[in-house]
Structure 1
Amino acid sequence: MYFPNTTWTWAFTIVTLVQTLVTLGLECYIFANFQIQEKANDSPSSRTIPTFLALYSFGFLYELVLVYDALRMKNTIQIIGLCLCNVGLLIYGAVQVEQIQNAVSILSDNTKISPLVWAESEPFLIIIPCIVGLGSILMTLVAWKLYDEFAWTIYKHISADLRMKRRYLTYQIFIALLKFDFFFFLGFTVQFLTVVSSDKHDAEFYLTIIAVPVTILVLACGAWFVRRESTFGMIVIILLFFAAMAYFCFKLYRMYDPITSPFYLPARPSMTFFAIITLVLIVITIVNACMCANNFNCGLKPHINKKKGPAEEKTTELSSNVAGQVPSRMMID
């Protein structure tokens, strides 16, 4: 599918691009200032700040990739998910302020960094959530227009069968959830590996590293199985999601268990945020995966695997402009 060349698609792209560039610029300044003034140190607190800043920056870059993907595929569900994800980045940005303040305070008390670092960084750390908040508002407004704009495309692609539209909507939700599952799982794992796990020879450390490619494989297989309507494959994926849910529940328990909680203290607020969001996403993904499996062999597969050429896409877009906006109920009825 080609990238739709419309006013609202470019507006959505520009909003997310400007937000990403400004935020990355501020994050780079904070990171450089910290690195310049920090003395040689390998404590968890010293690893906390670079990890948070790098993860936050990756979040915006990954979001930018998902924006292109959502607009290219005209996936309105993913666009709505991106607006919610941006709100999540806003919350994480607010959490980041306290986390970095605590880390700088600990390092300052141990004379490992100048106390001026916090005073120099605080204004920029406060500005970042404000920028993301403004970006979230603008993204939501443009997403509303895109929802109406893409409704006609879905109508042309699926036809007027309301039951088929619901099945296609369920499929779109599942695909979007897999992409967001990846980011939040990766974010939690990175924080554990860099901040919490100090023993590089610990079995849990190696198991966590192995879990990263395994997770990518599971998510990719989930997308493949739902497109091929493989019931057995979906059952395996659902069982693996239950295992992932048990893993995050276990991690949450360890984060607040009196015996193991000290190891998690430098990153506990942000790791708790990522763990809870991931758990919620896993539960929703499991429910949606069951709904997708229930829709197998009901005629959706040809619509999902049908590829349209650029000429057909342009024809659809011209038809949309001629026909005008389709009521927003078209997508969810």
Structure 2
Amino acid sequence: MVGIYKPSSRWTWSFLLIALVQAIVGLALEAYVFGKYQFAVDNEDRTGPEDNSGQTVTALKNAIPTYLSVFMFGFIYQLLLVYDALRLKNTIQVIGLCVYNMGILVYAAIQIDQLKDNVDRLSEKNILGLNFWSSVKASLIALPILMAVGTMFLVVVTWKLYDEFAWTIYKHISADLRLKRRYLTYQIYIALLKFDFFFFLGFTVQFLVIVTNTKDVEFWLTIAAIPVTIVLLMLAAYWTRKENTVGMIAIIIIYFAAMAYFLFKLIRMYSNDDRANDYLPARRMLSTFAGLTIVLLVGTIIIACMCTHNFNKGLKPHVDRRGGVGNADEVKYQTEMPAYGGSPAAQPMPSRMTID
């Protein structure tokens, strides 16, 4: 049984501490804005008619706490991925976390203008006091600055970790370069699945809470999509590890359907019909999440096809077997492939071979 991971070098400690400090400060800033908003709404709550665009007051009131909640969940989810990447010594996921941090930076920057628009509309309806924005503006501006500084530090430490993990790869990975590339493709695919989950969930939650003028069928289908997505992502990882071609073909088809869904939502958000007005309180945020999700889906489809192409070429024993020696922490938590010579059974296998 794998115990609690303890960073084994100053660079793994540094990466973990940077992510932790960034999360603590970011959560504190977001919690402050969240608390100020709830206090302001409770003290000056009013009911009002729909505005000229047809958007209800309820949607406007729900928008701000939803943005803040998604942002806070993003920090918590990042900490889980950081722990997972360092424990598994997964270079690909560490690099992906730097890109993820940049994505949150973009979200933080867009959040300022989106919240300002919503605050102005709520102030016009006497739901928020005029001094609310001035009390939270500094905190909102500090967030993208925090993310920019955090990203720079993470990139520097990632470069050091790449060198450190490369030594581990040198000691444990197969001398067969083709097998090495196949395993790298597998690692990229599993890492993409983890990031896909966050951006899909972020889009779905914002859509459900803020876009209130949806038909009942669409609303309930969107809710049902959340658990279905979790199951599908787990199956995607499982079928890749088991080299199930039929399952992977089915998953790739679902990826295309998901991409079509997000493209449809983007087109609807910026169309000229009345339905586009329903997205106004969250259009910038939803556009950001939909755009990033589409980019991730394109990458996921490409890597999924490459993984499927690599089936039955000698990789399965390395990603499917568990158990073996675990005397040293470096071997115990290793996710790269062991030295390989002769039959798989003749070589010691790490106790942790997959990154899912």
- Given the two structures, how large is their TM-score scaled by the length of structure 1? 0.91
Higher relative contact order (CA 8 A, sep 6+): 1
Q: Is the 8 A contact 1:157 1:303 kept in 2?
A: no
Q: Is the 8 A contact 1:153 1:316 kept in 2?
A: no
Q: Is the 8 A contact 2:325 2:332 kept in 1?
A: no
Shift of 1:184: 0.3
- Please say if 1:222 is aligned against 2:236: yes
Q: Distance in 2 between matches of 1:180 and 1:311?
A: 32
> Partner of 2:223 in structure 1?
209
Give the secondary structure class of the aligned counterpart of 2:129: coil
> Partner of 1:326 in structure 2?
none
> Partner of 2:8 in structure 1?
5
Shift of 1:43: 2.0
Gaps of 5+ in 2: 48-56, 334-356
Give the secondary structure class of the aligned counterpart of 1:297: coil
> Partner of 1:112 in structure 2?
127
> Partner of 2:187 in structure 1?
172
Shift of 1:315: 5.9
The CA RMSD over aligned residues, in Å, is: 1.5
> Partner of 2:345 in structure 1?
none
Q: Distance in 1 between matches of 2:109 and 2:14?
A: 26
- Please say if 1:235 is aligned against 2:249: yes
> Partner of 1:300 in structure 2?
315
- Please say if 1:185 is aligned against 2:200: yes
Write the letter of the residue equivalent to 1:165. Answer: K
Shift of 1:121: 0.5
Shift of 1:178: 0.2
Q: Distance in 2 between matches of 1:43 and 1:98?
A: 20
Q: 2:267 aligns with which of 253, 258, 262?
A: 253
Structure ranking higher in helix proportion: 1
The Cα offsets for residues 262-282 of structure 1, whole Å up to 9 and x where unpaired, read as 000100011001001000100
Write the letter of the residue equivalent to 1:227. Answer: R
> Partner of 1:149 in structure 2?
164
Matches within 5 A, 1:13-28: 13-28=16-31
Q: Is the 8 A contact 1:158 1:164 kept in 2?
A: no
The Cα offsets for residues 158-201 of structure 1, whole Å up to 9 and x where unpaired, read as 222111111111000000000000000000000100001345x6
Q: Is the 8 A contact 2:102 2:151 kept in 1?
A: yes
Which is worse superposed, 77-86 or 250-259? Answer: 250-259
Q: Is the 8 A contact 1:167 1:295 kept in 2?
A: yes
Which is worse superposed, 130-139 or 35-44? Answer: 35-44
Name the CA shift for 1:106/1:229 in 2 (closer, same or farther; >3 Å).
same
Q: Is the 8 A contact 1:12 1:142 kept in 2?
A: yes
Q: 1:88 aligns with which of 94, 100, 103?
A: 103
> Partner of 2:37 in structure 1?
34
Q: Distance in 1 between matches of 2:19 and 2:29?
A: 16
Q: Is the 8 A contact 1:44 1:196 kept in 2?
A: yes
Number of corresponding residues: 316
Q: Is the 8 A contact 1:158 1:303 kept in 2?
A: no
Name the CA shift for 1:309/1:37 in 2 (closer, same or farther; >3 Å).
farther
Q: Is the 8 A contact 2:201 2:226 kept in 1?
A: yes
Write the letter of the residue equivalent to 1:128. Answer: L
Name the CA shift for 1:179/1:315 in 2 (closer, same or farther; >3 Å).
closer
Which is worse superposed, 282-291 or 306-315? Answer: 306-315
Write the letter of the residue equivalent to 1:115. Answer: L
The Cα offsets for residues 287-329 of structure 1, whole Å up to 9 and x where unpaired, read as 0000001111111111113445541444689xxxxxxxxxxxx
Q: Distance in 1 between matches of 2:258 and 2:313?
A: 30
Q: Is the 8 A contact 1:181 1:282 kept in 2?
A: yes
> Partner of 1:320 in structure 2?
none
Matches within 5 A, 1:45-64: 45-64=60-79
Write the letter of the residue equivalent to 2:149. Answer: L
The Cα offsets for residues 191-249 of structure 1, whole Å up to 9 and x where unpaired, read as 100001345x6110000001111111111000001111111111111011011011111
- Please say if 1:311 is aligned against 2:314: no
Q: 2:140 aligns with which of 106, 125, 133?
A: 125
Q: Distance in 1 between matches of 2:207 and 2:154?
A: 31
> Partner of 1:262 in structure 2?
277
Q: Distance in 2 between matches of 1:209 and 1:252?
A: 19
Shift of 1:73: 1.1
Q: Distance in 2 between matches of 1:300 and 1:119?
A: 58
The Cα offsets for residues 135-163 of structure 1, whole Å up to 9 and x where unpaired, read as 00001110111111111222333222111
Q: Distance in 2 between matches of 1:197 and 1:300?
A: 48
